[in-house]
Amino acid sequence: MSKKTNGDRLDIYSRITERIVTDLEHGVRPWMKPWNTANADGRITRPLRHNGLPYSGMNVLLLWSEGMARGFSSPMWMTFKQALEFGAAVRKGETGSTVVFASRFTKSETDGNGNEVDRDIPFLKAYCVFNIEQIDGLPDGYYDQPAPVPESVERIEHADRFFRNTGALIRHGGSQAYYSPVMDYIQMPPFETFRDAGAYVATLSHEVTHWTGHSSRVGRDLSRYAKDRSERAREELIAELGSCFLCADLGIVPELEPRPDHASYLQSWLRVLSNDKRAIFQAAAHAQRAVNFLHDLQGSAENGSRAA
């Protein structure tokens, strides 16, 4: 890989991280922006590819941010070439939005014994996509209005069933929500102490993302959570993003205002992201793995219909 390409790759990490850091410096959690739109309750989904499959990980954050900044109401995106394949065209003067793709290349090296060995090197590719509101001539179905939002009771019942299917031990009582890695249970305040059912589900989605970190599940290292402020900030960022991804999947509004016990993480996230340009990418990848694990616990009914 050329030095120029290496520089381009590092610039992708830096440019995206700098945008997020700027938002955090203004007290804004960028992954919460989609739900701050008027009348957005229950209408936020993950960004979608041209074939209806959802984006995942870091690309969810990138396209949510782009959609908000540019006023797009459609969640669907496609490349210039994909638009042409439909006989459509991106309007003149429209600019694309960046998404990223993780890949690997093989490099031959000489080891200490003089033998040639192959080593896999991960790298990041960036490419442009366009929202369908920037494209003319697509089939009519792409411009259809979204289906009516289901009744909130149905949405909440679906969420309750989702958490039940995980098999997580969820206890109720007290005034704090947390996950205990040592005892492997989730503690939640009583249901009736929450503003509404959606707030309860949003809080539980955060804690159940922590729950996936146990060594018997996804297996993140939670041993330094209580002792290392930086590690705690990284794990809380994973749980925040996991909660957002899961809330989008379930049609629930996440915690728009940080809980009092979480408000202090803002400065910690700023320090972590300022010192490590890859931290937000790693957090998004961990969050995506956590949410995938939770979906995989739902049984054949959901797994048969859920996009990979």
Q: Which string of DSSP letters, residue by residue, matches 80-135?
A: HHHHHHTT-EEPTT---EEEEEEEEEEEEEE-TTS-EEEEEEEEEEEEEEEEGGGE
Q: Which residues of the chain are modeled with pLDDT < 70?
A: 1-10, 33, 35-43, 105, 122, 145-155, 256, 258-263, 300-308
Residue 205: what residue type?
S
Shortest CA distance to 75 belongs to which of 101, 105, 52, 99? 52
pLDDT at res. 36? 58
pLDDT at res. 279? 93
How many other C-beta atoms can be found within 10 angstroms of the C-beta atom of residue 268?
A: 16
pLDDT at res. 111? 72
| Main-chain phi, psi angles of 173, to 5 degrees | 145, 160
How many other C-beta atoms can be found within 10 angstroms of the C-beta atom of residue 152?
A: 15
Residue 299: what residue type?
G
Ranges of each domain in the chain: 44-143, 152-305
pLDDT at res. 1? 40
Q: How far apart are CA 299 and CA 291, in angstroms?
A: 14
User: Is the Cβ–Cβ distance between 245 and 279 less than 8 Å?
Assistant: no
Angle subtended by helix axes 279-296 and 265-275, to nearest 10: 120
pLDDT at res. 144? 74
The model carries a pTM of 0.80
